[in-house]
Amino acid sequence: MVSTMVSDATPLITFQNVSKTYPNGTEALREVSLDVPRQDFVFLVGPSGAGKSTLVRLLIREERATTGKIFVDGQELGRLKRRQLPHLRRKIGIVFQDFKLLPNLTVFQNVGFAVRVTDGELRHLKPKVEEVLSIVGLDGKEKKFPDELSGGEQQRVAIARALVHDPKIFLADEPTGNLDPATSWEILQLLLQINARGTTVLMATHNREIVDVMRRRVIAIESGRIARDEDAGGYHAQANLESR
């Protein structure tokens, strides 16, 4: 694939007046514009149904924007052909609240699966899988099955799988939603570590404590609009916090 030359100054992700209306009439996003520079770490917050998940789906082009343009790494997603989607998705690692591990495969096989089904370099499969498993701190658990692991460990496997293609963007959709506070912090540390290695991280979350403590960039979405976009923000707007 021919990749357009993109300087480091251009944002990795750009939304230009993006609206998304589902066929049933639901307006999930309205006129959303935002830039995410390379190596940024962004929290995406907002009530359930506000449009966070739609934003994630638009980024991996599981959905198309109704109007407006989305650019990822210099490519306009609306112009991508269906057969180009796999290449987009290999640039984006994604994890969810429910991990989406395959229960009949071991930890090693779950991570290796992502290499196998994408025609990845098989000679490097084993070292690559071992490398990402050690990044997420699961060395020695290669032969375990998902149901033999704790929730936090399962999410680590999912993170390892998302890292196996060396993604430019790491999307985490409520990654700590099923985890206890201590484990959530461990996962967050891992995401910070991934971000420190140069990967742009977007994390959609309801976890107020994490957002408030981290003081990173926060994009708040309410009723499909960007209600707030501030660096070093909290879960709620400053005015809200003070009134409490």
How far is 66 from 87, CA to CA, in rounded Å?
A: 22
Identify which of residues 122 and 196 has a Cβ nearer to other proteins in the complex.
122
Minimum Å distance from CB 229 to other proteins?
A: 27
Among residues 35, 67, 74, 90, the one that binds other proteins under rule CB under 8 A: 90
Does 83 bind other proteins (CB under 8 A)? Our answer is: yes
Does 169 bind other proteins (CB under 8 A)? Our answer is: no
> What separation, in Å, do the N-terminal and C-terminal C-alpha atoms of the chain show?
53
CA 139 to chain centre: 23
Among residues 114, 179, 211, 214, the one that binds other proteins under rule CB under 8 A: 114
Does 122 bind other proteins (CB under 8 A)? Our answer is: yes
**Neighbour order of strands in the sheet with 169-173:** 92-96, 169-173, 200-204, 41-45, 217-222, 225-230
* Residues 6 or more apart in contact with residue 178 via CB below 8 angstroms: 97, 98, 99, 151, 155
Among residues 57, 89, 144, 225, the one that binds other proteins under rule CB under 8 A: 89
- Token pair for residue 92? 């984006």
Left, alpha or beta for 61 (phi > 0: left; psi -120 to 50: alpha)?
Answer: left
Among residues 2, 23, 24, 123, the one that binds other proteins under rule CB under 8 A: 123
By CB under 8 A, the residues from 8 to 67 that bind other proteins are: 60, 62
Does 124 bind other proteins (CB under 8 A)? Our answer is: no
Identify which of residues 112 and 233 has a Cβ nearer to other proteins in the complex.
112
Does 194 bind other proteins (CB under 8 A)? Our answer is: no
Among residues 30, 38, 52, 161, the one that binds other proteins under rule CB under 8 A: 161
Determine the interface stretch with other proteins among 4-12, 40-48, 112-120, 128-136 (rule: CB under 8 A). Answer: 112-120
Identify which of residues 82 and 244 has a Cβ nearer to other proteins in the complex.
82
Sequential DSSP letters for 64-128: --SEEEEEETTEEGGG--GGGHHHHHHHEEEEETT----TTS-HHHHHHHHHHTTT--GGGHHHH
Angle at 124 between CA 121 and CA 128, to 5 degrees: 115
Residues at the contact surface with other proteins, assessed by CB under 8 A: 60, 62, 82-83, 85-90, 94, 100, 102, 113-114, 116-119, 122-123, 161-162, 164-165
